[in-house]
Amino acid sequence: AQSVTQPDIHITVSEGASLELRCNYSYGATPYLFWYVQSPGQGLQLLLKYFSGDTLVQGIKGFEAEFKRSQSSFNLRKPSVHWSDAAEYFCAVGSYSGGGADGLTFGKGTHLIIQP
């Protein structure tokens, strides 16, 4: 079964500083990878996705992520964070290779705090 690990439960970053959120996955086949963001009391919004091709993917709100197969990682980055980026971030992997349930397996999330 696939799994997703987000090693950092909380991260604090100063406004204007760069950001990197870590995500490691365990999956036998080629993964489909996603990053979602959740603001307090809201649903999840898709930031970006990786299916195949270029390993550096661009998303909304200035975010990007890089797929590294050798490290089983899909880290999320932003060069300069804004106070509005404070939220919960979830990495997810898709199970589509047959067997097991369709649907996404989520990491437990990273809570991002922005310091003024």
Residues forming the site for other proteins (CB under 8 A):
4, 32, 34, 36, 42-46, 49, 51, 90, 92, 94, 96, 101-109
Longest dimension (CA), the chain: 47
Residue number with CB closer to other proteins (57 or 114): 57
Smallest gap from residue 16 Cβ to other proteins (A): 29
Number of other residues whose CB lies within 10 A of the CB of residue 98: 7
Nearer to other proteins, 110 or 114 (CB): 110
What's the burial of 49, exposed, middle or buried (CB within 10 Å: 0-12/13-18/19+)? middle
Q: Which two tokens stand for residue 33?
A: 């990878």
**Distance from first CA to last CA of the chain, Å, rounded?**
41
State which residue, 11 or 32, has the beta carbon closest to other proteins. Answer: 32
Structure tokens at 85: 């980026």
Nearest-approach distance from CB 68 to other proteins, in angstroms: 21
CB of 1 to other proteins, least distance (A): 9
